[in-house]
Amino acid sequence: MARLVLQRLAATVPVLLLVTAGVFALLHLTPGDPIDAMMAESVDAVAKASLRAELGLDRPLPLQYAAWMGRLLRGDLGRSIRNGEPVLESVSRRLRPSLQLALLAMGVSLLIAFPAGIVSAVRRNTAADRVSTTLALFGICMPNFLLALLLIFLFGVTLRWLPISGYVDPAEELVDGLRSLALPAVTLGLALAAVVTRTLRSSMLEALSEDYVRTARAKGLPEGRVIRGHVLRNALIPVVTVLGLQLGTLIGGAVITEYVFALPGVGRLVVDAVFARDYPLVQGVVLLIALGFIASNLLVDLLYGVIDPRIRHR
């Protein structure tokens, strides 16, 4: 297991280099100038040139990239061009709401997807299966922003059960914090639940046709034990893969949901930074999101060995 972790960590080095180089190149190839975004058009060219030189934006791109990588190796992600705040502080302050939202959305999806996927597979071609697959297809096709607006109209405007915007930290006010995150978590969780339900159903149907399931039934094992001990465990690997990928996506990719519900998360931060041409902030956020994906993939690899001992022995 330790060897697997070391191999995965070693493989992340070229990935991170490609990510940083790609993001750096794309940002600087995008039309627009951060100095123009910061300063009014009436400011003279001398002042703009002075600020550009102060920020190091007048140097060739390879030198700018080398300087940024040098600071990165020292643990310094740089400072925001807009307000001069360290990038690490800006991201760490916004990372907490995004993590809370991602974990709650993951919990919502698991509470829905596992019962629905198991029932759909065990009772194939029944009314329960048709309802489950139809709702899953609906969840996959429904855009997040439209689902968010429908939930706001129903639970926020009509019933007035939940707030429609704003953020309260659950660590400080548990009830108000959970209420502020309820609608965005359900918005993201329903979409993820649809994907997990279909993945779990197809994986369990494949496992149900295997010889070891027929053997377990022939030995007289109760059906519940067959499903739990033989079918579900062997069907979990594709589901864990999907959940690992979606966790990284939820942390950094819930941009629309954060905008609709006015949450101060990482997704909203990076969009604002892109519009402001805040190069250090965008690069820092993308780098941390890439690290999140790498960590979630490493966790998935470790869970493979826990679920299936054959993988661990190989």
Minimum mean pLDDT among 28-42, 151-165, 282-296: which range? 28-42
Environment class of 259 (CB within 10 Å of its CB; exposed 0-12, middle 13-18, buried 19+): middle
Give the integer Cα–Cα distance in Å for 190 and 136.
9
Query: Is position 306 within any domain?
Result: yes
CATH number at residue 99: 1.10.3720.10
**pLDDT 10s digits, 155-214:** 888 888 888 888 888 888 888 888 888 899 998 888 888 888 888 888 888 888 877 778
Query: Is position 28 within any domain?
Result: no
Give the integer Cα–Cα distance in Å for 90 and 86.
7
pLDDT score of 309: 60
Q: Are 303 and 241 in contact (CB under 8 A)?
A: no
Q: Name the maximum alpha-carbon separation found in the chain.
A: 86
pLDDT score of 308: 64
pLDDT score of 41: 57
- Encoded tokens for 35: 């100095």
pLDDT score of 39: 63
Query: Is position 43 within any domain?
Result: no
Query: Is position 275 within any domain?
Result: yes
**pLDDT 10s digits, 78-127:** 788 777 788 888 888 888 888 888 889 988 988 998 888 888 888 888 88
Query: Is position 229 within any domain?
Result: yes
pLDDT score of 5: 66
- Encoded tokens for 1: 């297991």
The H or E element containing residue 45 is helix 45-54
Q: Are 107 and 252 in contact (CB under 8 A)?
A: no
Give the count of domains, the chain: 1
More confident call, 32 vs 60? 60
Whether pLDDT at 241 is above 70: yes
Most confident of 40-49, 185-194, 226-235, 256-265: 185-194
Chain position carrying tokens 């820092």:
284
Which candidate, 260, 255, 265, places its Cα nearest to that of 90? 265
Q: What is the pTM of this model?
A: 0.79
Segments of 83-138 assigned E as strands:
none
Q: Are 142 and 188 in contact (CB under 8 A)?
A: no
pLDDT score of 237: 81
DSSP β-bridge partners for residue 79: 86
- pLDDT more than 70, % of the chain: 89
DSSP β-bridge partners for residue 125: none
Q: Are 36 and 292 in contact (CB under 8 A)?
A: no
Nearest 5°: phi and psi at 221? Answer: -65, 145
Q: Are 247 and 296 in contact (CB under 8 A)?
A: yes
Q: Are 231 and 208 in contact (CB under 8 A)?
A: yes
Structural domain of residue 160, as residue ranges? Answer: 87-313
Environment class of 16 (CB within 10 Å of its CB; exposed 0-12, middle 13-18, buried 19+): middle
Identity of residue 14? P
**pLDDT 10s digits, 242-253:** 887 777 677 655
Query: Is position 63 within any domain?
Result: no
Please state the rounded mean pLDDT for residues 12-28.
79
Pick left, alpha or beta for residue 47 (phi over 0 → left; psi -120 to 50 → alpha; otherwise beta): alpha
Confidence of residue 40 (pLDDT cuts 50, 70, 90): low
More confident call, 230 vs 252? 230
pLDDT score of 276: 76
Query: Is position 237 within any domain?
Result: yes
Tell me the three state secondary structure of residue 228: helix
- pLDDT more than 90, % of the chain: 0
Query: Is position 52 within any domain?
Result: no
Radius of gyration of the chain (CA): 24
